[in-house]
Structures are given as structure tokens and as C-alpha cells.
Amino acid sequence: MAKEPEIIRDKDLMRSWSRTKRSQGKTLALVPTMGYLHQGHLSLIQEAQNLANITVVSIYVNPGQFSPSEDLATYPSDFHGDIQKLREAGVDAVFHPQNLYDYGCGGQTASGSFGNSGVVDGEERKVGSFETAEENPSGSFGNSGFVDGEERKVGSFETSEENPSESFGNLGFVDGGERKVGPSGRDGEDSSGNFGNLDADDRKDRKVVSCVEEKGGARSGHETWIRVERLERGLCGKSRPVFFRGVATVVAKLFNIVEPDVAVFGKKDYQQWRLIRRMVRDLDFGINVIGSEIVRETDGLAMSSRNVHLLPEEREKALSINKSLSKAKFAAQNGHTSCRELRNSVIQAIVAAGGKIDYAEIVDQESLEAVEEIRSPVVFCVAACFGKVRLIDNMEIYI
């Protein structure tokens, strides 16, 4: 099954390649990633291959979904390792752009460097699988803020995960003055230990910026953002107000460039999957957005590139997330449908194991609105920090 994928860095060449394949009567599936691939990503690719004739994997770390307080530049990267995995998986093409926010305006790119996306030696051309023009030893291509791995502090389109600091509040809020600090001295933490729960007036008066705006976005000319207003508010959106705006925008850009028939996302990032489905519905993209089930390690920990940052003892403690969610699901299916009781049981188990809760919410699967009693399909979503690693997980519950 192994074959050499075509590596395409220029968006016009990518669009032309896709249109040529479709003109031949072939269907295309896109799997968006940020690289540093693991078995979870490979399961998405396998799903995509079952749904279409041609499979394209994108590898792009999107600055539009990072706030300036998050460290975009140092996320782990293994581009050549990724290509080896994709070769063995039989992927047809890899879309690996340098900077999707550079419009040739002569301005500074979002990473703070001056780069030409898809341009090598003064001309536009496709770069082969291991051709390293423009590539530096870290595996990034001409931009110090872009690394060929998955999203720093979030996950490779596992996207809402890790934040380099232990604080989860007010990321991306810039107001020129002091930030709101909770009792622990960490931004956005309230007395209950929750993060980022600013009231409407606080949120309204602050400006949300990403690394694109902070580092040259205005000079590159980018000023258009997509908001899925209701679905982005809760869960990870509380502590990361810039995140889902950036995700929706970059996914729309990828859809317009690759023009797939099908796109596959992992349900581990449940909020992201639902948000993209809603965007596709509301903006009439002719794309079928598929959610693929969570892939877990043999001990039950949800697969994530974040897991490599866990110390052995932290990893053992992190198993409390899946264990407590599984117990809550079993309890709900056996008549214990009070969300308050189920939430408390999960929070207590994770805290007892040494974790710090960002959120633990039981929400409707479609609207993502919190429910008090389980009477219809819900999903129990959790974000918790072990050491400096923020992990997300969830479990769908049907009764």
C-alpha cells in the first residue's frame, strides 16, 4: 500500500491538482492536521480512504488560532517522520503550505519573518518529498513561528489542548493594562478553580487577537475571520477566546484550496468537530464532514501528541480522566441521570489524582449547551491539566 505522496506547498498548485483529479471523476477526502502524527491521525486517514478515491493530508500550524501568550514556535515537529507514516499509509498528496496569511503584500508574515509561500529559488513549483529548499534544521520552512508539528498547546487538530503556562484564563485578551486575576494569582481563575469564566462585560471590553494580528497580520492584509458564534462560546472557548475563530477560518481556507468532497476530523476534539459541521452547513460548503471515533492507548488514555510531554507519574494520574468518564457513562446508562452528580464524581476523581480541572461539562451533542438531566444524547467533555500538560477527552452518552 506504500506509495510516495505528492508534497504541495503552493495553494494555487494544490487547487489545480485537486481540480485535475476531480475532472477525472475522482472524489477527494481531506484530513487536516498540524503534523507530529500518531496512530489517532492514521485512523482518520484510513477513514478518509474508505470514503473517497483520493486522500489529501494537510500539515499546517495555524497562527490564527494562537494568542500571543502561547508559544507557537517550539511545538515538537517531525516532518520527515510524518512523510514516512503518510507514505506507508498510502496517502496521495500532502498539502504543506508555509504561510496561509501571506498574500504577497510585501508585509511581515505572522511568524515575524519574511517568507514566500510556495516559492523556491524565485519560482513557483512543487517540492518533492524530501527536497529541503527553504527548510531549516528544525523542520520548519522559512518561518520561526511555524513548525511542522501539530498545534502548540492545543493538539493537532486536537486543537484545544495544551497551554504552556499553568494558567488557562484570558489567553488572547489584550487591553493594555492589568488582566483579571483570580485568588491564586493566575489569569482568569475564579474562586471555584475554574479558568477564563469572565462575565459578559469583561469579555466585551477586551480585544481578542491572534498571532496573525500581533505579528504582521495587518501588514499582510488579512482581516477576515469566521465565527461560529454560539458553538464557540463554551467549553474550550471560555479560556481560549481566539482559538475557534482561528480554527474556523483556517479550515474554511483549506476547504477553498483543496476543494474536498469529504473532510475527516477526530471526535476527541468534539467541540471543534461540531463547530466545523455547523460552519459547513451555514455557509453551504458542499463537503461531508465526518467525525471519527476517539483512538485510545491500551490503558485508555486518549491518543494525543500532548501525551509525550507527560512525566511517567503524570501519565498514570491522567488515566483518571478516562476512568472517571467511563464510570459516569455506566452510571448514566443505569439510571443515574443527574448531571450535577455525574460532574461531581468526575471532578472529584481527577482532582484526587492530582489533576487541575479546566472544565467538566455535560452538554447536548448538537447545541453543546449544558443540561441538568440526561434525557437525550449528550457528551461529557473534560479538560484537565496534569503538570504543565492540558488534556481533553470526552464520552458520548446515549440512554
List active site positions.
Answer: 41
- Exposure string of 103-126, with b = 16+ CB inside 10 Å and e = fewer, is eeeebbbbbebebbbbbbeeeeeb
Q: DSSP labels for 250-317?
A: HHHHHHHHH--SEEEEETTSHHHHHHHHHHHHHTT---EEEEEPPPB-TTSPBP-GGGGGS-HHHHHH
| DSSP state at residue 178 | P
CB 340 within 8 A of CB 372: yes
Helices (H), ranges, the chain: 11-23, 39-51, 79-89, 200-204, 211-214, 217-220, 236-239, 243-258, 270-282, 312-333, 339-352
Q: How far is it, in rounded angstroms, from Cα 149 to Cα 74? A: 9
Strands 207-208 and 173-174: antiparallel
Q: Within 13 Å and on the Cβ side, how many CA atoms surround 42?
A: 17
Count of Cβ atoms closer than 10 Å to residue 382 Cβ:
26
Q: How far is it, in rounded angstroms, from Cα 66 to Cα 55? A: 27
Q: How far is it, in rounded angstroms, from Cα 119 to Cα 368? A: 42
CB 271 within 8 A of CB 381: yes
CB 133 within 8 A of CB 126: no
Query: How many helices (DSSP H) and strands (DSSP E) are in the chain?
Result: 11, 13
Nearest C-alpha neighbor of 22 from the set 53, 59, 46: 53
Nearest C-alpha neighbor of 211 from the set 187, 243, 166: 243
Residue 239 burial by Cβ neighbours in a 10 Å radius (0-12, 13-18, 19+): buried
Q: How far is it, in rounded angstroms, from Cα 262 to Cα 70? A: 31
3-state secondary structure of 362: strand
Query: How open is the CA angle 213-35-152, to the nearest 5 degrees?
Result: 45
